[in-house]
Amino acid sequence: MTSDLTPAAGARPGGGADPVYVWVWLPGAIAPVVAGVLAVANGLVQGQPVLAFRYASSYRARPGAISLYTPELPLSDAVFDPRRAPRREPLALAGCLRDAAPDAWGRRVMNLLLASSPDIELSEAAYLLGSGSDRIGALDFQAAPDRYVPRDEVATLEQLLQVAELVEAGAALPPSLLAAAQHGTSIGGARPKALLTDGDRQLIAKFSSSTDSRPVVKAEGVAMVLAARVGLSVPAVQLRRVAGKDVLIVERFDRVPTTEAGGTPVAGRRLMVSALTVLGVSEMNSRYSSYAELAETIRTGPWRQVPGTLRELYSRLVFNVCIGNNDDHLRNHAAFWDGSTLELTPAYDLAPQMRSTNTSSQAIGITRDGARASQLRLCREVAAEFLLASVEADAIIDHIVSTIRDQWDEACDQVFLTSTERAELMGREFLNPYIEYPNP
């Protein structure tokens, strides 16, 4: 097996880093198989060593094997250098693999776990091999090609909250919480959060931060509730109080219920890629992307149910503008990958952002020329990119605005927002008058 996964010329297991073996849950599978190997190649990208990838011959010969993402890593015996993928920006690690790595919060947790410092920068290989195995999507990373060793243990919600508080403070993690800390290492975003198992339910717990000056968790909760009422595809959410703090519990949509041979229920996994990977751009340059580009990719790429997908993405754009979520960067959009086609995942991280003035801009452009003001006039301007006539776009906008307004109190009740908190959010983040400003 090891010789089967020896990197070819251009990728070497030496050079200061051992190879990292990529394991995958194939569609419908209850256990992972080794798919290929990452090894250090010569050179750097943005200061990071390049990790080249090669599929295992045993994986390529496996019935039902699929590419991890064909535009980047088509199923072949080639060595894939992420600096040289056609029509894609040079990267240090293929985007579909980087999507499974820990992001800002997870890296902060790992920095404490592995180096006792929240701000140190570790190698990408260290983040891949040290983060938890119950990561978003259907990939994991291992030190060996022939033995899968999961890196996750049971932890309570209270323990996860304790870990989040310590990590935020940059404090050392006691041995009693090291297992719980692992649950926060393999998840994206910058705010404190962790993965959680509750019986047969796979969940994400999103915590309040010590720096919050507003009800951030409740605001995201009411946004998710309203998104469902508007008709967007979103996971179920629930607001809980744990140790006197707000915690938003979100159902995971990258897990699917399946059954082992003996009848035991288990959670299958679905491969996912971010919009960052779909567009083939780096994090640094993602701000130059736009909803119009995403729409073009859906119209021209290997997407399922194109008209419905375009309508859903357009509705999410309008909803983000209406609720003041200007943190809609490309990692906050994603798609399932089944080996041949893409399918938009349910919406997530619909989090209204604090604003000190009425003006606001989305994290990525709305129109093709990059205009990004958080205004409905730009949503109307870009409708044709989503194959929507003006009358259809107006109907979507009117429905979303009226639903937020009419169902506001019921949605707020669901996440226990007080009257004072409601007054702070409505008209500031939600339905800010700026969204209706005319052309400048």
Domains and CATH numbers, the chain: 3-93 (no CATH), 99-127+150-192 (no CATH), 272-436 (1.10.1070)
Q: How long, in residues, is the chain?
A: 440
Amino acid at 96: C
pLDDT for the residue 243: 84
Q: Token pair for residue 408?
A: 């506001």
Residue 261 pLDDT > 70, yes or no? no
pLDDT at residue number 262:
61
pLDDT(151) > 60: yes
Residue 117: predicted pLDDT: 81
pLDDT at 300 over 50: yes
Other beta carbons within 10 Å of 323: 29
pLDDT of the residue at 86: 82
**Quick one: average pLDDT of 230-240?**
97
| pLDDT at position 110 | 87
pLDDT of residue 15: 37
How far is residue 399's CA from residue 419's CA, in Å, rounded to a whole number?
25
What is the rounded distance in angstroms from the CA atom of residue 44 to the CA atom of residue 46?
Answer: 6
What confidence category does residue 260 fall into, taking pLDDT thresholds of 50, 70 and 90?
Answer: low
Residue 138 has pLDDT above 60, yes or no: yes
Averaged over 227-256, what is the pLDDT?
94
SS percent in the chain: helix, strand, coil, step 5:
35, 20, 45
Cα angle for residues 386, 287, 70 (degrees, 5° grid): 65
For residue 183, which of 204, 209, 210 has the smallest C-alpha distance? 204
Can you give the pLDDT at residue 267? 74
What pLDDT does residue 171 have? 82
Position 387 scores a pLDDT of 98
pLDDT at 176 (0 to 100): 73
pTM over 0.85: yes
Which two three-digit tokens encode residue 375?
């205004």
| Model pLDDT for residues 361-392, shown as the tens digit of each residue | 999 999 999 999 999 999 999 999 999 999 99
The mean of the pLDDT values for the chain is 90
Q: Which of 92-106, 139-153, 192-206, 403-417 has the lowest mean pLDDT?
A: 192-206
Q: Which of these ranges, 20-29, 258-267, 318-327, 414-423, has the smallest mean pLDDT? A: 258-267
Q: What whole-number distance in Å separates Cα of residue 94 and Cα of residue 88?
A: 10
Q: 8-17, 55-64, 142-151, 406-415: which has the minimum mean pLDDT?
A: 8-17
Output the pLDDT for position 3.
38
Q: How far is the C-alpha of 133 from the C-alpha of 147, rounded, in Å? A: 14
Question: If you write DSSP's letter for every residue of 260-328 in order, what string do you get?
Answer: -TTS-EEEEE--EEEHHHHHT--TTTGGG-BHHHHHHHHHHSSBSSHHHHHHHHHHHHHHHHHHT----
Q: Is the pLDDT of residue 205 over 70?
A: yes
Residue 313 predicted with pLDDT over 60: yes
In the predicted model, what is the mean pLDDT of residues 257-269?
70
Q: What is the pLDDT, as a whole number, of residue 220?
A: 97
Pull the structure tokens for residue 178: 């090291």
pLDDT average, residue stretch 279-288: 92
**24 Cβ partners below 8 Å, 6+ apart?**
32, 33, 35, 68, 138, 139, 140, 271
Q: Are 219 and 198 in contact (CB under 8 A)?
A: no
Phi/psi for 399 (5° steps) reads: -65, -45
Q: How far apart are CA 54 and CA 379, in angstroms?
A: 42
The string of pLDDT tens digits covering residues 6-59 is: 443 333 333 345 899 999 999 989 899 999 999 999 889 988 899 999 999 999
